[in-house]
A and B are shown apart, each in its own frame.
Chain A
Amino acid sequence: ESGDPQRTALLLRKAWTLYSVTPLYRFCRGRLRDYARLLSAFIAAERQKGLAVEVGVELDIRVTLSSLPELQGSEQDQPAVLVQLSSRSRASPKNSEDKILWSGCFCCVYGDDLSENMPEDFTCLPLFLANGAEGYMSVVGNWFQKTFDCIFRRLAISPFNLSWMVAMWAGCKVDKAASAVELVFSVPRLPQPLDISYAIHPEDARALWDTIQKTPGEITQEEVDVFMDCLYSHFHRHFKIRLSATKLVKVSTAIASAHCDGIVKMLHSQYLSGVLMLLTELAISQIQ
């Protein structure tokens, strides 16, 4: 994936809340500046009504929309669209840098399943990543929904999908010292909530995955099951607790971390595309 790594670097090391977005109607890439103006006016109007955040703070909010062609999988994919809300306090000096209040990114990485039979007027960007205050997400989301007749829905990640993620990511080769592979489980039906955190040395996790995976580049459900079963039985041997009866709520590896509420952090630029491809797939299955 060639392209300016600086631009995609803004996606790394931030906690992104995931949404699925239905196709946008009559979204025109050439009009990004117009859309930024319209959205800016909408935000100002909402603030007048007292609906947006930061009431009482003197802020000029600037909206920018830009294309990120680096975030694309296949030729059919639409290039990603980045939305940023930045502010410059009226009190601070003129040449100070804008502070980014909120970022959102529409993207589609190998979303052929969705875009295949899409009529011309529709733009497929099924995955939306949001970072920043919820108030801004609400306002921006409303504007896009009204303007392009689309629907945003929070994208949750099931324990089943989380186990695929941890198996895939634990097997990835990382050059520098990698962080531990961590799985967090929540134990149901207890009077006090209990979370179990299971950390594995990244080399051990990779070695385990290497003994399980038969075809490099291909992963099967059986292989993921065997990987998880090995981790569960190891834990059971030591602690007599059956993790398979608990709910897997969060997974962390050197590549990325993901929480079942639909919050991800991408940590490694080399695998950024792979992670987005997986998330695009989840978003598409929520839409369909």
Chain B
Amino acid sequence: HIATSLPLPSERDHLRPRIDLIVFMIDIKSKCSLKNVEASLAYVDARFFLGKVYFLVTGVGRVNCCSIEINAISKLEEAYCSPVLFCELELEGVRVATAQRLLRMLQICAGLVPGFSALSFSLLMRNSADD
């Protein structure tokens, strides 16, 4: 499911399946997208931040088109205890690889991979990024 912002419209609440993973997409070329994500985070229940929220930063292929400071993204990562992934949507290989990663992460968050919980996996992601 894709939404341009949160909260999701309440009329469809009863039809919606359980949400296992939320990926916030931030376009590094658009300050507006960062503001949108920051506003939408307020509508997410606290339980999701135990491994079911990720940030995906796109457009990182062109450093010279940056409208957002990388520090702002690091601050989000720290404040919400949620890992950040980077990708460039315009490169097919990277796009496909990122999609596969997200799918794998979704399987873990939905509890379909034995031995991995959403929380343990997200801690693994964040610790390896710090190294």
Q: Which residues of A contact B35 (CB under 8 A)?
A: 244
> Are A242 and B32 in contact (CB-based, < 8 A)?
yes
Report how far A5 CA is from B63 CA in the complex, Å. 36
Q: Which residues of A contact B65 (CB under 8 A)?
A: 158-159, 247
Partner of B64, one of A157, A163, A232: A157
B30 within 8 A of A: yes
> Are B30 and A244 in contact (CB-based, < 8 A)?
yes
Partner of A244, one of B32, B64, B66: B32
> Are B32 and A247 in contact (CB-based, < 8 A)?
no
Q: How many residues of A contact B (CB 8 A)?
A: 17
Looking at the complex, which of B67-75, B76-84, B107-115, B122-130 is the stretch in contact with chain A?
B67-75
A235 within 8 A of B: no
Report how far A244 CA is from B68 CA in the complex, Å. 10
Q: Which of B15-58 contact A (CB under 8 A)?
A: 29-33, 35
Taking each of A158, A228, A260, which has the highest tally of chain B beta carbons within 10 Å of its own beta carbon? A158
> Are B69 and A247 in contact (CB-based, < 8 A)?
no
> Are B32 and A245 in contact (CB-based, < 8 A)?
yes
> Are A160 and B67 in contact (CB-based, < 8 A)?
yes
Taking each of B30, B64, B71, which has the highest tally of chain A beta carbons within 10 Å of its own beta carbon? B64
A71 within 8 A of B: no
Q: Which residues of A contact B68 (CB under 8 A)?
A: 160
A145 to chain B, nearest CB (A): 22
> Are A221 and B67 in contact (CB-based, < 8 A)?
no
A203 to chain B, nearest CB (A): 26
> Are A245 and B33 in contact (CB-based, < 8 A)?
yes
Report how far A160 CA is from B66 CA in the complex, Å. 6
Q: Which residues of B contact A246 (CB under 8 A)?
A: 30
Q: A159-B65, A247-B65 are in contact. Are A221 and B71 (CB under 8 A)?
A: yes
6 of the cross-chain contacts (CB-CB < 8 Å) are A158-B63, A158-B64, A160-B66, A221-B69, A228-B31, A245-B31
- Listed in ascending order, the chain B residues whose CB lies under 8 Å from chain A are 29-33, 35, 63-69, 71
